[in-house]
Amino acid sequence: MPDMNLSQLNSFSPSRRGILRQAATGLLLLGGGAALSATAPSSPAPDFTLRSANGPNLRLQEQRGRVVMVNFWATWCGPCREEMPQLNKLYAKYRASGFVLLGVNVDDDARHATDVAARMGVTFPVLLDTDKTVSRLYDVSTMPSTLLIDRDGRVRYLHRGYHAGYEEDYDRQIRELLR
């Protein structure tokens, strides 16, 4: 069967997408750790398109040629809130050098997520994954989860969780990928 991208899947009827989603979930469960391979270092980052908190859709593939950090977060996640000011600093420091930071929020309530991001002063794009499609695609099981993707669209680093000091690792890895 040929590979399908998200836009092709979205062209199916809602009931057919539901059946395909259930079948894919079953295959992932049968495959054990197969879902982890989607975000294994050196693997191509799975493409996705999500609506941004500012309105327009944003597609990961359109960021090729840049170093991309994808940070999955939730408003109820204390470590996520602790990490946000550090991510803002990294975004400000490297965005002019070809670095993009995408904050993928997984809350059910997009308005609440947008309000919290605004109150926290988030300056990077916030994408809304209310139906958890992208979170499942990337096998997100821990909040926050952060990936660094190189200019060729390959996952280079994966971080699950956050503790003070992780931003030093992020900084070093971003510098390495921007070279």
Q: Which of 65, 39, 49 is nearest to 153 (CA)?
A: 65
Sign of CA dihedral 89, 93, 94, 100: positive
DSSP one-letter code for 44: B
80 labelled catalytic: yes
Q: 24-45 b/e with 16+ CB inside 10 Å = b?
A: eeeebeeeeeebeebbeeeeeb
77 labelled catalytic: yes
Give me the helices (H) in the chain, please: 6-10, 14-30, 34-37, 78-94, 110-119, 133-137, 166-178
The residue from 45, 67, 70, 80 that is catalytic is: 80
Give me the helices (H) in 57-100, please: 78-94
The residue from 35, 53, 77, 155 that is catalytic is: 77
Q: Which long-range contacts (CB under 8 A, 24 or more apart) does 5-10 make?
A: 5/47, 6/47, 6/48, 6/49, 6/133, 7/49
User: Which residues are catalytic, by number?
Assistant: 77, 80
